Chains A and B, each alone.
Chain A
Amino acid sequence: MTFIIVLLIAIVLLIIFAISIYNSLVGLRNQVKNAWSQIDVQLKRRHDLIPNLIETVKGYMNHERATLENITNARSKAVSAQGVSEKAKAEAQLTEAMGKFNLVVENYPDLKANQNFLALQEELTSTENKISFSRQNYNDQVLFFNNKIQMFPSNIVANSFNFKQEVFFEVEDKAERAVPKVSFS
Chain B
Amino acid sequence: MWELIKSNQRKSIFLFLGMAITLVLLGYFIGSTFSPDGGGLFGVSIAIIIWTVLSIISLTAGSSLILSISKAQEVTPAVHQQLFNIVEEMKIASNLPAMPKVYIINTEAMNAFATGKNPSNSAVAVTAGLLSKLNRDELQGVIAHEISHILNRDTRFITYAAVMLGSIVIISQIFLRGMFYSGSGRRYGSKSKGGGQAQIIFLVIAILFAILAPIMARLLYFALSRKREYLADASAARLTRYPEGLASALEKISECTDELPSANKVTAAMYIANPLKKKGMKLSDLTSTHPPISERIKILRGMMHGVNYSDYQKAFSTIKRSSSQIIPASGLSDNSAIPLRESSEQLKEQQSAIDEKRKMGNIMMAVNNYSLLTCICGLKIKIPPAFGTNKPEIICPKCGNINKLELAGRI
Contact = CB atoms under 8 A, between A and B. Distances in A.
A141 B93 CA distance: 10
B336 A133 contact: no
B95 A179 contact: no
Interface string A140-180: 11011001000000000000000000000000000000010
Contacts of A125: 136, 344
Interface in B240-275: 241
A134 B92 contact: yes
B7 interface: no
A147 B81 CA distance: 37
A136 B82 contact: no
A150 to B, nearest CB: 11
Contact of A143 (B90, B241, B334, B342): B334
B82 A137 contact: no
A38 interface: yes
Nearest to B96: A137
Contact of B355 (A141, A147, A184): A184
A33 to B, nearest CB: 13
B355 A182 contact: yes
A179 B82 contact: no
B92 A133 contact: yes
B4 to A, nearest CB: 10
Contacts of B344: 125
B117 to A, nearest CB: 21
A26 to B, nearest CB: 14
Nearest to A147: B334
A126 B352 contact: no
B95 A141 contact: yes
Contacts of B81: 119, 122-123
Q: Chain A, interface size: which category? A: 20 to 34
Contacts of A119: 81
A130 interface: yes
Given A122-B81, A179-B347, A140 B95 contact: yes
B108 interface: no
A182 B355 CA distance: 9
B193 interface: no
A42 B93 CA distance: 12
B61 to A, nearest CB: 31
Interface residues of B, number: 24
Given A122-B82, A134-B92, A184-B359, A179 B334 contact: no
A108 to B, nearest CB: 16
Given A126-B89, A130-B89, A31 B95 contact: yes
A182 B93 contact: no
Contacts of B359: 184
A133 B94 CA distance: 9
A65 interface: no
A38 B88 CA distance: 12
Interface in B329-363: 334, 336, 342, 344, 347-348, 351-352, 355, 359
Nearest to A126: B85
Given A133-B93, A136-B93, A143-B336, A182 B352 contact: yes
B386 interface: no
B219 interface: no
B1 interface: yes
Contacts of A35: 95
Nearest to B95: A137
| B85, B89, B94, B352 pick with most chain A CB within 10 angstroms | B89
A129 interface: yes
A136 B241 contact: yes
Contacts of A184: 355, 359
| A130, A133, A137 pick with most chain B CB within 10 angstroms | A133
A122 B83 CA distance: 10
Nearest to B351: A181
Contacts of B352: 182
B236 to A, nearest CB: 13
A179 B85 contact: no
A179 B342 contact: yes
Interface string B53-90: 00000000000000000000000000001100110111
A140 B1 CA distance: 9
B88 A126 contact: yes
Contacts of A38: 92
Nearest to A35: B95
A182 B85 CA distance: 29
A137 B355 CA distance: 35
B137 to A, nearest CB: 10
Given A122-B82, A143-B336, A179-B348, A130 B355 contact: no
Contacts of A181: 351
Contacts of B348: 179
Nearest to B136: A125
| B90, B95, B136, B359 pick with most chain A CB within 10 angstroms | B95
Contacts of B89: 126, 129-130, 133
5 contacts: A126-B85, A126-B89, A130-B89, A136-B241, A140-B1
Interface of B: 1, 81-82, 85-86, 88-90, 92-95, 136, 241, 334, 336, 342, 344, 347-348, 351-352, 355, 359
Lowest 4 A-B CB distances belong to which pairs? A126-B85, A133-B93, A133-B92, A129-B89
Given A125-B344, A130-B89, 8 more contacts: A42-B92, A122-B85, A125-B136, A130-B92, A137-B92, A143-B334, A179-B347, A182-B352
